[in-house]
A and B are shown apart, each in its own frame.
Chain A
């Protein structure tokens, strides 16, 4: 649930862990007025839960270089990759291209597939039959040190 939204930041409250039960209150039940603080008592936030939707298909990768700087992917950033997601136009994907891993934005149309860097100094790459090309997984999050 979104608690507050400003121009730059959005604040969240954690989702309920699952639908199988009510939140657990460990203070016991007493007659009389309940503590007003109990209304706010919930599970701690879990970054795993927030960033990893499908843990069997999730892997991490480290960015090297600045070809995707325009999309906010900087050198040494950590990527969260979900292999279960379907690749499609405009998604950022980790691909295996001619012997090495690369992260680029997918551009897909009738004429074919391109790998679009987000940095004017890098060329767009057209994938042809001569390339050894595999879409390895879809990037869902980027984690950066500040």
Chain B
């Protein structure tokens, strides 16, 4: 079985955890430099504040409707995300962090388990320990766990935040409910062609002939169809998130020295940075994981992760690699044989944001340099050009007029109690 655990309105929920006055009130979080709305509470959505709304145009609307508008506080979100993910690891060793606020869990060998109860336990623990509400979808495949999650999120009263698809009847009911465009992994292009074929709901998609899907939507579309039919074809780590980019791999050998691990992490980080630049995104957070060989039960086991929040978004190899290496150094434990590591970049924003350029948040020297590195790497064998050192001394300034305190990462910002 698989589970998808998704934090509800994650950024707004983080703010509410430390400022309970914001509970039940409309809250909106702004992008870097206070540009546009990137996260909304349910109440703000209901009032009609659109995603991506430029705040200079919508400020009056927010004031009029009592929407509390905040700058994004990535150090807080990164720390809270890390707490949630670490709690999830208490429920299964197979956790795939999928983005800052969602993770896939795989339950291997959980025979005759009461998954609804298990999901409730997870949800309750996360809520109590961190104050973050989540929705949990559990199903025999990854794609169906995404669907189950949407059911749980959409019907919180009926499901109490947890929905399990564990019968043919429930599977068909859920697929007849969910629109085809809301199915995980069905992009815009695919949507159009499915609509043209008369597919409105996910169920209609599963009724198409296998060979037709395979011919028109490649192997990925076919795997998705099988997954929706309840036959697991998509494994953990297989489909890349839209809101995060991950490079997670097992090493060829086990490493117990920091130098080899630093080299791997640097390579993974560089690969993430390249993917970021390819899709025109920058990241706000870098998530680094390191784990020993789980199958060697006789050896000491260690599994650790760390989130680094950056003061400005970046797509620079230099910064991402250096920060990832620093993070892995801080979680590395001598004497452990490590087998697997990962770098995930999260909190993605478009790089071609005019405000970014206007306020010069990124060291401008990096941009032409990255361009040159990408050019050389595509011309010659990949990764011919590597990093040696970098300059991080420059100070960056960013507009954050509505920033909440860094409750969990700065001792001067912790909550005050009377």
Residues of A within 8 A of B (CB): 20-21, 24, 54, 56-57, 59-65, 67, 78-79, 83-84, 94, 96, 99-103, 132, 134, 136
Q: Which 4 A-B pairs have the closest CB atoms?
A: A57-B129, A103-B417, A101-B417, A96-B20
Contact B418 A100 (CB under 8 A): yes
- In this complex, how many residues of chain B approach chain A with their Cβ under 8 Å: the count is 20
Chain B residues with CB under 8 A of A24: 335
Q: How far does the Cβ of B116 sit from chain A's closest Cβ, in whole Å? A: 22
Chain B residues with CB under 8 A of A79: 417
Contact B417 A63 (CB under 8 A): yes
Chain A residues with CB under 8 A of B300: 20-21
Chain A residues with CB under 8 A of B128: 57, 83-84
CA distance A132 to B300 in the complex (A): 48
**Given A56-B83, A84-B129, also A134-B415 (CB < 8 A):** no
CA distance A60 to B130 in the complex (A): 13
Chain A residues with CB under 8 A of B21: 99
Contact B129 A64 (CB under 8 A): no
In-complex Cβ contact of A60 among B125, B129, B414 (8 A): B414
Tell me if B408 counts as interface (CB < 8 A to partner A).
yes
List 10 additional contacts besides A99-B21, A136-B131; criterion CB under 8 Å: A56-B87, A57-B128, A59-B415, A67-B418, A83-B129, A83-B131, A101-B415, A101-B417, A101-B418, A102-B417
CA distance A122 to B378 in the complex (A): 71
Q: How far does the Cβ of B21 sit from chain A's closest Cβ, in whole Å? A: 6
**Given A20-B300, A21-B300, A56-B129, also A64-B417 (CB < 8 A):** yes
CB-nearest residue of chain A to B299: A20
**Given A56-B87, A134-B20, also A64-B416 (CB < 8 A):** yes
Q: Which residues 111-144 of B have a CB within 8 angstroms of A? A: 125, 128-131
Contact A61 B129 (CB under 8 A): no
Q: How far does the Cβ of B23 sit from chain A's closest Cβ, in whole Å? A: 8
Q: How far does the Cβ of A94 sit from chain B's closest Cβ, in whole Å? A: 5
Chain A residues with CB under 8 A of B417: 61-64, 79, 94, 101-103
Chain A residues with CB under 8 A of B335: 24
CA distance A79 to B417 in the complex (A): 9
Contact B416 A62 (CB under 8 A): yes
CA distance A59 to B408 in the complex (A): 7
Chain A residues with CB under 8 A of B8: none
Q: How far does the Cβ of A79 sit from chain B's closest Cβ, in whole Å? A: 7
Contact B83 A64 (CB under 8 A): no
Contact flags B6-41 to A (C-beta < 8 A → 1, else 0)? 000000000000001100000000000000000000
CB-nearest residue of chain B to A99: B21
Tell me if B388 counts as interface (CB < 8 A to partner A).
no
Q: How far does the Cβ of A144 sit from chain B's closest Cβ, in whole Å? A: 14
Chain A residues with CB under 8 A of B408: 59
CA distance A134 to B22 in the complex (A): 13
CA distance A100 to B415 in the complex (A): 10
